[in-house]
Amino acid sequence: MSINDRTKLFVKSQEITMKAFEQSINASNGYINNITRSISLEKIDLIVEKYPLLNIEWLLTGKGQMLKSLMDVHEPESQYIKEDATTRASITAKALVKIDASVTHLLHEVSEIKEQLIKKKK
Digit-coded pLDDT (tens) for 78-97:
444 444 444 454 445 556 65
40, part of any domain: yes
Three-class DSSP category at 80: coil
The fraction of the chain above a pLDDT of 70, given in percent, is 74
Give percent above pLDDT 90 in the chain: 15
Predicted local distance difference test score (pLDDT) of residue 103: 72
pLDDT, the chain, mean: 78
* pTM of the complete model: 0.57
First to last CA, the chain: 50
Specify if 31 maps to a domain.
Answer: yes
Provide the pLDDT for residue 90: 46
Q: What is the pLDDT of residue 76?
A: 46
The answer on pLDDT for 34 being more than 70 is yes
DSSP annotation of 34 reads G
Give tens-digit pLDDT for 9-22: 999 998 899 999 99
**Is pLDDT at 118 greater than 80 in this prediction?**
yes
In a domain, 84, yes or no: yes
Q: Provide the domain count of the chain.
A: 1
Residue 97: predicted pLDDT:
59
The answer to whether position 99 is within a domain reads no
Establish if 98 belongs to a structural domain.
no
What domain range is 32 assigned to? Answer: 3-91
Please give the full DSSP string across 39-95, using - where no structure is assigned.
--HHHHHHHHHH-TTB-HHHHHH--S-SB--GGG--S-GGGT--S-GGG--S--HHH
Domain-located, residue 111? no
Half-sphere exposure for 107 (CA within 13 Å, toward CB): 6
CA distance 33 to 52: 22
Q: How far apart are CA 26 and CA 7, in angstroms?
A: 15
